[in-house]
Chain A
Amino acid sequence: MIGLLVGVPLLGAAVLLCGGRRLDRTGHWLGTLLAAVSFAIGAALFASMLGEDAESRAMHSKLFSWVPVEGFQADVAFQLDQLSMTFVLLITGVGTLIHLYSVGYMEHDPGRRRFFGYLNLFLAAMLLLVLADNYLLLYVGWEGVGLASYLLIGFWQHKPTAATAAKKAFIVNRVGDAGLAIAIFLMFTTFGTFAFAPVLSSAGDASEGQLTAIGLMLLLAACGKSAQVPLQSWLGDAMEGPTPVSALIHAATMVTAGVYLITRSGAIFNGAPDAQLVVVVVGAVTLLFGAIVGCAKDDIKKALAGSTMSQIGYMILAAGLGPIGYAFAIMHLVTHGFFKAGLFLGAGSVMHGMNDEVDMRRYGGLRKYMPVTFVTFGLGYLAIIGFPGLSGFFSKDQIIEAAFAKGGTEGWILGAVTLLGAAITAYYMTRVMLMTFFGEERWRQAPTPSPAEPDVEPAAETRGEHAEPHPHESPKVMTIPMIVLAFGSVFAGGIFKAGDSFVNWLEPVTAFEHGHSPVSATTVTAATVVSLVIGVGAAWFQYGRKPVPVVAPRGNLLTRAARRDLLQDDFNHVVLVSGGTHLTRSLVYVDHKVVDGAVNGTAATFGGLSGRLRRLQNGFARSYAVSMFGGAAVLIAATLLMRAV
């Protein structure tokens, strides 16, 4: 039954990718259907799980022995506990909605069947990742997610930017994957196994140093998949993929994998405070990093990407807080899954109606033209900024509270950072909202290419639709998923919060503890709301009160840096690329001069020596006779000397 969860989308991917053109007309419905079937199986399992006691809800299912070697036992076995169940429902549920949306969004794309095949593959890999009962199988899913994201980001591979972005995502992910691989090696040497149950239950037996090493390597892996500093650079470029892909990556799959990994390995991090501290720092830095980047981007998808980075930063931070934060991290992950998927689908809907224009400076006043999109996007917006009563409010508020509850100076710093992040979130999301749906209708102005974003989608020009776009509402097949997600954005948080149901649900897996905050919950909530109001107000002051220029102003230094993703690529280029180039050059130099020199020198020495020695071999018997007599003389001399001594 658990295997079917993975098997169904995998079968869909196989059928769609191998099926050939005869599936071109029906394949997208098949893919959507299989995703829905997977969701139905998940829901059925969920229902049966609810019927059990809290402690006996976890299910195991061993398919077969994968690598049965003495002392190295790897099984293909699944473990479905509350944490996995949460992910399964999120992945299959949001995934199915995105499938449905894609039916409309990709309607005219010639590679639609292939696209749905990749989507199914993505789902299957992600499900494998969250369902695996050992780290090795998790690694398979982990790599599968990387592969599927590569294929989907580079889906329009005829665009060089897309192909480059796909490669970038893949390569940056590889760095993280190496971390995971090393973590698994360390686990095997430390514990002799890498199955979840024995590793996590015996984590207390290992030394803190070992746990810290494993934890840091797991964090590196999480950074790669979840786009955390310093491996965050791929996320913005990944917007080159079709918008449903962005929604899938940001909401349901891929970036949540890192949070899952850290939460799942909670027992290891609990034993390694240093690693936890690093996790928290990474989360906090990414939180602000993503938020600042999100403020400066004029590309709607890239602004949302910055937002994702920031929100995942929240989750990582919460996960780094230990048992007081795991449940909130997952809770925020789920609510974020709803509203971020909704926001991306909304952004896709806007682009769909605007001839694939992504520059927000050419939007404006769209609320009249696409009311459904406006309402769903607006609900997602309210949810993400944490408007009281909506999903994001509950989950984010909990994280801020937990950050304060960390205690000590760290607690205050983290609390301040999370509050600041909340304010910035409110600012940039309000900015997106105002620039897209309010204000004057800037698309009517002459379409000049924006100098700030030279790499924006040139499709409008190439298709010969220079004429002003005609904004229109998207078809039902696209709006229905948005409506469903909007419902999730509004109510999920409240449902989870009510009676701490979500925390209790996860408690058997993540061992929840109530943090003791130095400030009361009410104060934190009030501070959150205040920072929210400040953020919204600042955005309205800047973008609502006065018209938005079509051409981006030059901006101050920070803005310009943020437009370049806070110089992340420049940093990578200077430090990694040119550093690597120099290292390679010097290694090549060493190789040429030292290694080759030694080898060639040896060869030349022996060659020269042989050339000299060869002259002894002149073929003249008399020369040989001379050496014989010389040898005889030496022997006699040696004998005489021996006798003399």
Chain B
Amino acid sequence: MSGLPVPMTELAATATSTGEALQFWVLGTIAVLGGLGTVLMRRAVHSALCLAGTMIILALFYLANGAYFLGVVQIVVYTGAVMMLFLFVLMLVGVSAADSLKETLKGQRWLAAGCGLGLGILLIAGIGQVSVGSFNGLAAANAQGNVPALASLLFTKYVVAFEVVGALLTVAAVGATLLTHRERVEKNKSQREQAIERVRGGKQLPPLPAPGVYARHNAVDRPALLPDGSPAELSVNPTLRSRGQIREVSAEQLARLAAVEQRTAEYHGRSAYPGPKDPGERALERAAADRAEERDDDATERGTEREEEAAK
């Protein structure tokens, strides 16, 4: 409760203190920045964090306005529960193209800007028209404490609404359960059926190849090499690939490997493994294709440097 700028009694007064004004300007700026961040952050997680910050500041404002109960509820319910729910769903849904801020609807951004600006100007103009005289403080209302006062209102004057809202919450809970519940409409497949389906469907029957096999490295982000020296796509997790976190085997390295093989074979006086027709060339092609994606190339280069260092 460090945000409380003035003693509780003064809050009920009819004027605001300088301290509160200061607090308003500082925290208000942060709140607006948080709101903008919510809208403009590319990643949904960042948006959620910005929103949480704005909500906490709003909770402080509630407290400053004498709504102690609401301030606490704001923190507990909103920032605590609701925002956690948001984050939870975010994790469930994962990243997607929707995160991009690039506009796909023609003219939508201009229309949105126009509407938003117009709405804002009109609202602020509307507020500006209001003549605000002296205002009543909450001193009288909060005389016996904010929470008891609220409670007496809630359980007398607003008891019906309270009950209805309770019913609404119940309905919402049941509804959410129903919505996310999936009825199993068909029998569970047995292991035998699954095996048959897999063979019929022409899917990969044995386990996927492990990463790093025949490569110089056996980390999960390093594809295994096929006998001809080209990387095996199946050996790395597709998620890593979509994230661009795979380290490719460079062409020079492959060529060098081939040379080592060759020398070894000469030393032992036996014919070298014939290998693919031209493994070095294929590896070069592969590397050229990969250069299209900068990040991947960077990663590869970095990996290459490290490998070169290791080789020395």
Contact = CB atoms under 8 A, between A and B. Distances in A.
Interface of A: 618, 620, 622-623, 626, 629-630, 632-633, 636-637, 639-640, 643-644
B271 interface: no
Contacts of B118: 630, 633, 637
B108 A626 contact: yes
Nearest to B110: A626
A342 B123 CA distance: 108
B119 interface: yes
Interface string B92-110: 0000000000000100100
A632 B111 CA distance: 14
Nearest to A629: B115
Contacts of B119: 629, 632-633, 636
Interface of B: 105, 108, 111-112, 115-116, 118-119, 122-123, 125-126, 129
Contacts of A618: 105
A626 B118 CA distance: 12
A483 to B, nearest CB: 104
Nearest to B103: A622
B115 A622 contact: no
A623 B125 contact: no
A640 B122 contact: yes
Nearest to A639: B126
A623 B108 contact: yes
20 contacts: A618-B105, A620-B105, A620-B108, A622-B108, A622-B112, A623-B108, A626-B115, A629-B115, A629-B116, A629-B119, A630-B111, A632-B119, A633-B118, A636-B119, A636-B123, A636-B126, A637-B118, A639-B126, A640-B122, A640-B129
A632 B126 CA distance: 13
Contacts of A620: 105, 108
Given A620-B105, A623-B105, A623-B108, A640 B116 contact: no
A630 B112 CA distance: 9
A630 B115 contact: yes
B191 to A, nearest CB: 43
Contacts of B126: 636, 639-640
Nearest to A630: B115
B100 to A, nearest CB: 14
A201 B118 CA distance: 86
B129 A626 contact: no
Contacts of A640: 122, 125-126, 129
Contacts of B115: 626, 629-630, 633
B122 to A, nearest CB: 5
Contacts, number: 36
B39 to A, nearest CB: 13
B114 to A, nearest CB: 8
A639 B119 CA distance: 13
Contacts of B123: 636
A626 B112 contact: yes
* Main SS at interface, chain B: helix
A640 B108 CA distance: 27
A644 B112 CA distance: 27
A41 to B, nearest CB: 92
A622 B105 contact: yes
A637 B125 CA distance: 10
Contacts of B111: 626, 630
Contacts of A636: 119, 122-123, 126
A644 B129 CA distance: 9
A633 B126 CA distance: 11
Nearest to B114: A630
Contacts of B122: 633, 636-637, 640
A626 B111 CA distance: 7
Closest 10 CB pairs of A and B: A629-B115, A633-B118, A636-B122, A626-B111, A633-B119, A630-B115, A640-B126, A637-B122, A620-B105, A626-B115
B42 to A, nearest CB: 17
Nearest to B111: A626
B14 to A, nearest CB: 26
Contacts of B112: 622, 626
Contacts of B105: 618, 620, 622-623
Nearest to A620: B105
A633 to B, nearest CB: 5
Nearest to A635: B122
Nearest to A626: B111
B182 to A, nearest CB: 25
Contacts of A633: 115, 118-119, 122
A612 to B, nearest CB: 15
A630 B110 CA distance: 12
A624 to B, nearest CB: 11
B157 to A, nearest CB: 29
A620 B129 CA distance: 36
A213 B108 CA distance: 74
Q: Could you say which of A618, A620, A637, A643 has the most chain B C-beta atoms within 10 Å of its C-beta?
A: A637
A550 B128 CA distance: 117
A125 to B, nearest CB: 79
B108 A643 contact: no
A638 to B, nearest CB: 10
A622 B98 CA distance: 13
Contacts of A644: 129
Contacts of A626: 108, 111-112, 115
A16 B108 CA distance: 87
Contacts of A629: 115-116, 119
A630 B108 CA distance: 12
Contacts of A632: 119
Contacts of A630: 111, 115, 118
A643 B115 CA distance: 22
A487 to B, nearest CB: 104
B183 to A, nearest CB: 27
A629 B113 CA distance: 11
Nearest to B120: A633
B107 to A, nearest CB: 9
Contacts of B108: 620, 622-623, 626
Given A622-B112, A640-B129, 14 more contacts: A618-B105, A622-B105, A622-B108, A626-B115, A629-B116, A633-B119, A636-B122, A636-B126, A637-B118, A639-B126, A640-B125, A640-B126, A643-B129, A644-B129
A595 to B, nearest CB: 40
Q: Could you say which of A620, A622, A633 has the most chain B C-beta atoms within 10 Å of its C-beta?
A: A633
B105 to A, nearest CB: 6
B97 to A, nearest CB: 15
A470 B112 CA distance: 109
A637 B108 CA distance: 22
Nearest to B104: A620
Contacts of B125: 640
A632 B108 CA distance: 17
A636 to B, nearest CB: 5
A474 B202 CA distance: 108
A597 B126 CA distance: 51
Nearest to B126: A640
Contacts of B116: 629
A632 B118 CA distance: 10
Nearest to A643: B129
A80 to B, nearest CB: 91
A622 B105 CA distance: 9
A640 B130 CA distance: 11
A618 B119 CA distance: 24
A442 to B, nearest CB: 98
B103 to A, nearest CB: 10
B15 to A, nearest CB: 28
A546 to B, nearest CB: 102
A636 B125 CA distance: 10
Q: Could you say which of A618, A640, A643, A644 has the most chain B C-beta atoms within 10 Å of its C-beta?
A: A640
A640 B105 CA distance: 32
Nearest to A636: B122
Nearest to B108: A622
